[in-house]
A and B are shown apart, each in its own frame.
Chain A
């Protein structure tokens, strides 16, 4: 798979200009997100105490994060006690190295993967390929992206930008089969036949994790297709890569999480497959289990009192689906495996605000607040966006305009004088006119003969 990773190669506005031109993408995406949003609204409305559940979810994540180190140490202890091995990876490179090392120790040159956005974050497929190891995606949508040599454009529905006909053509070209129709069932059948053989051959699997529970040492993966379960149970060796923020302290926390996650993500009351395992069980399932705990910038995010709430994210993707910007530009415009509103705050924080292109992401929002309203763990994304905007380096021309505006607004005599001469109105209007693009799509307002304060002062006489 090409792409992946979290380092945008272009500014958001440049990338969006490209993706906006793709009418098919805009159409596919608009249709898909509208459908899922309206379903989501319905299933969310079924839960009378949804708001309280959101609050409970946000509080439990905050508590889990407040004791992160302790929770991780308990998790490690329990996983080891259950026969698993735990690895700590500070960076993406380290995590890839650990996976490659495990594969080599078993003389494995092919691994099956179940959807793991974390492995996309660390560019695992490319990293393994460089060492002669092929990673085969088994999630249907990820498989589609892999065959198309395309990167995922959505956290949950990575091929959301493609329609059925495009997928049918892709399968015919890459898998050498003829599809009778473009119906989802027919396409899924082709993928199933293709994948079944791979599952049976695979000695080693790599997975992500939706959560881990410290007190029990168990790991959980939530999915819709059952391909994940195949990966988690058939191979001899299982490697799970998990961001450190996914750990929950207690078993009962899973209940709250599972009330929030399926409804927010796939608009289902419950997802079809939830796999939870604890270490290894002799004679049943993988006989070797490795858990890689990935930092890759997360502890830096945790140290920031405002940005920290970003780590509550349970990757449900509700914020992507409701986002008017994402709906039009698609995920690739964000240049990271984390697109949409969560990507706009997570990517620059993981990379550091100095990253030249990542620091354009906090501006990729009209601040409409739809993401905050949808987020099941109440991450105040607009607040974090505004906060991160404050941390970006400013371009000199823009700063001097803002400084001039501040100079005028911080003194009412200067402000009144500008209004009297209609200068403020004229400068707003001509300012808009100067910005390339604004006047292509919008006509400028007219500047009135007198300001409100002039009207008011005359009225008093």
Chain B
């Protein structure tokens, strides 16, 4: 299959390693991978912050770029959820039936990375190796908006050498929420503190998730307190190989 990468603005600027790992994974699975450099941002930040007009222009721009793709894969649950859910909602708010229709046509073509692997298989081909004690935080948009629940956990449990520990209170939000962590920084910090405590209680080396935005927040909280666990995107775990 020819796969268009959807590398979100945050991944592009701050977490390029996740994009590199995603590319490697998809190529190892035998797909031909393309990246359209016209892509910028899906407009999630503008939409969630109340800049609806700007968000809609970014959404339409996103559709211009991806509309003809056969299949699109992204290593970000929240951006995939934005395209899948919020494009249509924004179309409804503004009675923009064209946007609603175009967004609906993306159904079945756009996947979050773990969703793609769970659907099409290939863990045996990837055969990842990651000899560490690891837990998994199901990010809210991945778990609820995409309905993935904790299914990416299944992938981690298949990784060679990986010692998996389940996170307690795992459905609790980490408190990032984009501009929420800026506008309501104190409340966000209280949520973050609880999340970091549950992670640290497990004595793990890594906390894994499918969204770098949430990981940026959790990782920032852990490092601030000088805590040991590090954060890592699922793509980077799945791309890891046993040294030859």
Contacts and interface: CB of A to CB of B under 8 A. Distances in A.
Interface of A: 12-13, 16-17, 20, 26, 305-306, 324-325, 328-329, 362-370, 372-373, 383, 386-387, 389-392, 394, 399, 402-403, 405-406, 408-412, 415-416, 419, 424-425, 428-429, 432, 435-438, 440-445, 447-448, 450-457
Interface of B: 7, 9-17, 19-20, 23, 35, 37-41, 43, 45-52, 54, 57-58, 61, 85-86, 89, 92-93, 140-141, 144-145, 171-173, 175-193, 216-217, 219-221, 223-224
Contacts of B15: 448
Contacts of A428: 10, 13-14
B187 A415 contact: no
B180 A367 contact: yes
Given A366-B180, A441-B224, A452 B185 contact: no
Given A364-B187, A419-B12, 8 more contacts: A13-B185, A26-B190, A368-B140, A435-B182, A438-B185, A441-B189, A441-B224, A455-B20
Nearest to B220: A442
B140 A369 contact: yes
A452 B86 contact: no
A329 B186 CA distance: 10
Contacts of A325: 184, 187, 191
Contacts of A412: 37-40
B45 to A, nearest CB: 7
B13 A455 contact: no
Contact of B145 (A12, A369, A405): A369
A151 B175 CA distance: 27
A386 B89 contact: yes
Contacts, number: 198
A448 B16 CA distance: 8
Give 4 closest A-B pairs by Cβ, nearest first.
Answer: A366-B177, A389-B50, A442-B220, A437-B185
B47 to A, nearest CB: 6
B50 A392 contact: yes
B19 A455 contact: yes
Interface of A is mostly: helix
B144 to A, nearest CB: 4
A409 B10 CA distance: 12
Contacts of B38: 412
A369 B177 contact: no
A307 B141 CA distance: 22
Contact of B12 (A362, A363, A370, A451): A451
Contact of A324 (B14, B17, B43, B175): B175
A366 B191 contact: yes
Contact of B173 (A12, A324, A409): A324
B149 to A, nearest CB: 11
B78 to A, nearest CB: 9
A453 B37 contact: yes
A73 to B, nearest CB: 30
A306 to B, nearest CB: 6
Contact of B220 (A445, A447, A456): A445
Given A412-B37, A442-B217, A452-B19, A366 B58 contact: no
B124 to A, nearest CB: 26
